[in-house]
Chain A
């Protein structure tokens, strides 16, 4: 019979502890987080501007199809650029923290704990990026349209439209961030501790 190594206890890392670590990581490495976030903020700002402009035109002029196909393509490209930016940025973040990941594994972290940590971290960055992008987007929409439609027309938009734009911004940015960081996070999780500890980073 195979002899058992485990004599007592278990291994686990509660979500609350992961959250604590994630938040401390974001705060401590704020520059890196802001860098990752910047791409998201810009694309979400563009998205919000388009949505709000469309809403203004809809509620003031009763227009239905106001965003041309051209803008949809622009938006698609903005998201594409932002998406590759996230992957790149998270790959860098993982490279910077290789030794730390190795250490965590020595202390008992399993692959899934590392994966969870990076995914959660980027979900946060994505969500915050979504909110900031939304605010930037509103400002941009008002500034860009002030001379043509007038600021007052923005008051014609019902609150529910703003709420819809905000929620969709957060949803899109969070999903985008989680999906695009899953590959680097997976690579981080799969790191062999011996190899990770050899790194000089």
Chain B
């Protein structure tokens, strides 16, 4: 964490706001978020549903435009990017993992992992090598020719994780990665994410309300009603959770 490259933070969020108009009322999905995320850290954004987790996920991932405020990825304000630069950012800089896995249904596990590398212009031989290595790493090499509907939820999520890492992104964004999985499978996925975080020094940002995620997170940002209540290190959290429960 925080190795002294040219910049210690890989994501910086400044005064981020996102308002939606619902009829006559304005819903403040995000209401002034400030946070800095260190290179290589595992950060969980925790909050109940409706707290703005997914909206924040979308903003950091360059999938949606804020009403106000800025998001910097490696010191670049992503609101300034044109369509081509944004596509490049999504393909190479960020890997996405979703609650619903979102694999391309007509493609095999292998083809799903290869796809982002095609967009990034990786050579065919290198694509093959990396895809097989990643599928092996997530333990699905023998399922490489299976289509998503032939895989269990946990297996699909493993393919999605391999796909997210295909272009060696600096950041992996995971929106409720364990939301559709049972307890044990969820735990395995969390463990895998943590291992990859350490092995590859990739920054992992998860939006979740899964308490299991606390065990592996370096820091936890507590989100409520579109505002960050506090950001804590793991060691601080245990104490507070214990106190609340007691």
Contacts and interface: CB of A to CB of B under 8 A. Distances in A.
Contact of A10 (B63, B88, B100): B88
A3 to B, nearest CB: 5
Contact of B121 (A9, A21, A29): A9
Given A5-B76, A11-B91, A107-B91, A194 B63 contact: yes
A24 B84 contact: no
Given A2-B80, A24-B106, A100-B105, A109 B88 contact: no
Interface string A147-191: 000000000000000000000000000000000000000000000
A17 interface: yes
Interface string B89-122: 1111100101010111111000000011011110
Interface string A93-105: 0000001101111
Contacts of B88: 5-6, 9-11, 108
A137 B96 CA distance: 50
B68 interface: no
B156 to A, nearest CB: 13
Given A4-B76, A108-B92, A197-B98, A11 B105 contact: no
B1 interface: no
A109 B115 CA distance: 10
Nearest to B96: A106
B74 to A, nearest CB: 7
A71 interface: no
B116 A194 contact: no
A60 interface: no
B22 interface: no
Contact of B73 (A5, A13, A111, A195): A5
Chain A: interface residue count, which band? 35 or more
A192 B119 contact: no
B109 to A, nearest CB: 14
B87 interface: yes
A108 B106 contact: no
A10 B93 CA distance: 12
B107 A11 contact: no
B90 A105 contact: yes
B154 interface: no
Nearest to B122: A9
Interface string A13-48: 110010001001101110000000000000000000
Nearest to A100: B104
A140 interface: no
A100 B61 CA distance: 17
Nearest to B103: A103
A11 B63 contact: no
Contacts of A110: 83-84, 87
A109 B93 contact: no
Contacts of A14: 118
B210 to A, nearest CB: 19
A69 to B, nearest CB: 46
Nearest to A2: B80
Contacts of B103: 103
Nearest to B80: A2
Contacts of A5: 73-74, 76, 78, 81, 85, 88-89, 93
27 contacts: A4-B76, A5-B73, A5-B74, A5-B78, A5-B81, A6-B88, A9-B121, A10-B88, A10-B121, A11-B121, A12-B119, A12-B121, A17-B118, A24-B106, A25-B106, A29-B106, A103-B98, A103-B103, A107-B163, A108-B92, A108-B119, A109-B87, A110-B87, A192-B63, A194-B63, A197-B102, A198-B54
Interface of A: 2-6, 9-14, 17, 21, 24-25, 27-29, 99-100, 102-111, 192-195, 197-198
Nearest 8 A/B pairs, CB to CB: A108-B91, A108-B119, A194-B64, A194-B58, A194-B63, A28-B106, A193-B63, A107-B116
